[in-house]
């Protein structure tokens, strides 16, 4: 069911500093900040030859990643995103196996303009999993 690794997300305390570090110290291709108010984050995508890094910073009062950054003030790997061909079929399959889908259970449109869902980290070895339909 899951396909390519679409991105690895890192929550950062300072988005501009992290973006500059990837651009200047690591020589990576760094995109512009994208506000995603529906998700409570601002994101910066770093394009690598085989996947992307998604830098995340809280946006708004009730960002879902605020708690993560309070627990990890220096930042840290926040989630991994796998691609799926049919996100509803994937969701239904996973729920049938007892996995918890976060939020309303209905996909939201993510930063790439595609439907995304999140699976509870406690059901996936402590790793927050995002699925993106491609």
Ligand X SMILES: CC[C@H](C(=O)O)C(=O)SCCNC(=O)CCNC(=O)[C@H](O)C(C)(C)COP(=O)(O)OP(=O)(O)OC[C@H]1O[C@@H](n2cnc3c(N)ncnc32)[C@H](O)[C@@H]1OP(=O)(O)O
**How would you classify residue 75: left for phi > 0, otherwise alpha for psi between -120 and 50, otherwise beta?**
left
For 29, the 3-state DSSP assignment is: strand
- Out of 9, 10, 84, 90, the only residue in the binding site for Co ion (CB under 5 A) is 9
CA–CA separation, 47 and 68 (whole Å)? 24
Only segment of 2-10, 28-36, 67-75, 94-102 that touches Co ion (CB under 5 A):
2-10
- Interacting positions 76-115 with ligand X (CB under 6 A): 78-79, 81, 102, 110-111
**Which residue matches tokens 């007892």?**
98
Contacts with ligand X by CB under 6 A lie at 9, 36, 39, 41, 43, 54, 56, 64-65, 67-68, 78-79, 81, 102, 110-111, 116, 118, 121, 126, 128, 130
């Amino acid at each position: 069911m899951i396909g390519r690794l679409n991105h690895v997300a890192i929550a950062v305390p300072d988005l501009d500093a992290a973006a500059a570090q990837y651009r200047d110290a690591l020589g990576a291709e760094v995109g512009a900040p994208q506000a995603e108010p529906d998700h409570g984050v601002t994101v910066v995508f770093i394009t690598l030859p085989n996947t992307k890094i998604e830098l995340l910073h809280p946006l708004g009062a009730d960002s879902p990643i605020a708690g993560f950054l309070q627990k990890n003030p220096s930042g840290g790997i926040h989630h991994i995103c796998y691609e799926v061909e049919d996100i509803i079929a994937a969701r239904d399959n996973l729920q049938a196996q007892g996995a918890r889908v976060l939020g309303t259970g209905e996909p939201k449109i993510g930063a790439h303009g595609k439907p995304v869902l999140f699976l509870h980290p406690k059901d996936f070895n402590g790793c927050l999993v995002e699925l993106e339909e491609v």
